[in-house]
Amino acid sequence: MHPDASAAAARRCQEARGIPVPGTVSQRLSDTTGQPARPALARAVVDLAAIAHNTRLLAQHARGELMAVVKADGFGHGAVQVARHALAHGASWLGVACVAEALALRTAGITQPVLAWLYLTREEIEAALAAAVDLSVACVGQLRQVAAAAEATGIPARIHLKIDTGLRRGGAEAADWPQLICVARGFEQRGLLDVHGVWSHLIHADRPTHPDTAGQIRAFDTAVAQAEDAGLRPALRHLANSAAALDAPVTHYDLARAGLGLYGIEPVTGAGFGLRPALTLHTRVLMTRGVAAGKGVCYGHDYTTPAATTLALVPVGFADGLPRAASPGARMWLAGERRPVVGRIAMDQCVLDAGAAAAVGTGDEVIVFGPGHHGEPTVKDWARWAGTSPHEILTGIGPRVLRHYQEAPHTPHHLLEGRTP
């Protein structure tokens, strides 16, 4: 493929998948200089020092190499910024879901190995080959598609064969594995591809010591042995996620894939490994009003004030990533206390009950969630209130939210005390 055509294909893949393309209007609103690119009502401060710390910690626990998983725009933190810091502090690989995400990393100048595991079209495959992106292969049909693209472009593919060890999502079933490795070996002998890895996913992502994991390890070992018997020599075997990297050394093999842990969310319930949450989401009070007891608030008047109080309007809603299911029950940090979200969370705004005695005014800063060190809610709190996972909260942060990156730990004292800087 001609380089110009490859670049055009890469850009089309990124735009079709909604991946930010530098220099286009689709690029996510971000601030890497400390100066706002444009006005924003909400801001996500990403602590890159925390990303570096978490990467080092995960790399120390992993027995082999570490893959930093930066899919979904780095779990909402910014894929390029997270990738660069992870690579500088112990990661040697990057992992993404779709090819467009991998191409965005290449467009940003990142040259280290990247694995992408979701793709559908020939154009995506050819763009991946041109950009030296590794591809996951889970069935013979997919393998033939990749080999055909390699033959057409003259660029050998580097692939990771995926075996389903029990998750029953992606990956070849055990009954289909012998055919897959046989066909892969044939294409490898023809110079069309290199089987660089064999991999699988754990069933119990947050409980790597679950009894089912032992069966998965046996199935994985069998699949690797069969691949080697067929003449394949994969350099990388990988099964472990963040939780397993920290808590189940038997799953480590040659590489561990760190997703949630990279962003400072403890992946094992009840365990404390010293990870540091990297994102603080905050906004400001847009207006306040005093209301009497017995007054309904927001759509449907699901909430009625039990006493005279001060209501604070906050300009973030479910379009910005606050799940509507979290109300009632959710809290935000305002003027040194957790204040309840009252009424329904709307698309663009929600209301806090600040209490009658609170000295709260327009412009006061509000922490939606943060590390929790000072009492502010955490992303795990929001996940609990909404009945979902931290992954969903983080990746749901909308494009209207300004991303701000800083190297030092984020300690917004003026936010915590409710003062405007």
CATH of the domain at 362: 2.40.37.10
Name the 3-class secondary structure at 231: coil
pLDDT value at residue 414: 41
Answer yes or no: do 166 and 245 share one domain.
Answer: yes
Domain co-membership, 186 together with 292: no
Under 8 Å between Cβ of 56 and 273: no
The answer as to whether 20 is a domain residue is no
308 and 254 in a common domain: no
Distance, CA of 142 to CA of 116 (rounded, Å): 14
Q: Report the alpha-carbon distance of residue 400 to residue 71 in Å, rounded.
A: 19
Would you tell me how many other CB atoms lie within 10 Å of the CB of residue 299? 10
In a domain, 300, yes or no: yes
338 belongs to a structural domain: yes
* DSSP codes, 253-290: TTEEEESGGGGT---STT--------EEEEEE--EEEE
Mind giving me the DSSP string for 12-31?
HHHHHTT---TTSTTSPPEE
Q: How far apart are CA 261 and CA 272, in angstroms?
A: 11
Q: Quick one: pLDDT at residue 413? A: 39
Same domain, 249 and 295: no
What is the predicted pLDDT for the residue at 8?
54
Give me the amino acid identity at 259.
G
> Residues 253, 295, 299, 380: which is the catalytic one?
299
3-state secondary structure of 314: strand
Would 28 be classed as within a structural domain?
no
d(CA 42, CA 352) in angstroms, rounded, equals 16
How many whole angstroms separate alpha carbon 238 and alpha carbon 256? 6
| pLDDT, block means (10 residues), the chain with 421 residues | 49 53 41 52 97 98 97 98 98 98 98 98 98 99 99 99 96 98 99 99 89 96 98 98 94 97 90 93 96 95 95 97 94 96 97 89 97 96 97 96 85 38 27
Please indicate if the annotation marks 169 as binding a ligand.
Answer: yes
Last residue of a domain, one of 262, 292, 327: 262
For residue 26, the model assigns a pLDDT of 33
Out of 71, 263, 303, 405, pick the active-site residue: 71
The CATH number given to whatever domain includes residue 114 is 3.20.20.10
* Assigned token pair, 21: 């393309």
User: 221, 237, 262: which is the final residue of a domain?
Assistant: 262
Residue 19 lies inside a defined structural domain of this protein:
no
Residues 53 and 145 in one domain: yes
Assess whether 150 and 200 both reside in one domain: yes
Torsion sign (Cα): 284, 289, 293, 294: negative
Angle at 53 between CA 47 and CA 57, to 5 degrees: 150
Whole domain around residue 117: which residue ranges? 47-262
d(CA 264, CA 404): 17
One domain, residues 308 and 244: no
What is the residue whose two structure tokens read 């010591």?
Answer: 209
Told to judge if 295 belongs to the known catalytic residues of this protein, a careful annotator would answer: no
My answer on whether 211 and 298 are in the same domain is no
156 and 254 fall within a common domain: yes
Binding site annotation covers 347? yes
* Active-site residue, 71 included: yes
Residue 159 shares a structural domain with residue 306: no
Looking at the structure of the chain, the number of domains it has is 2
Q: Do 107 and 234 share a domain, yes or no?
A: yes
Secondary element (H or E) of residue 223: helix 211-229
Query: Which of these, 302, 176, 151, lies nearest to 161 by C-alpha position?
Result: 176
Place of tokens 């060890």: 165
Q: Same structural domain for residues 290 and 258?
A: no
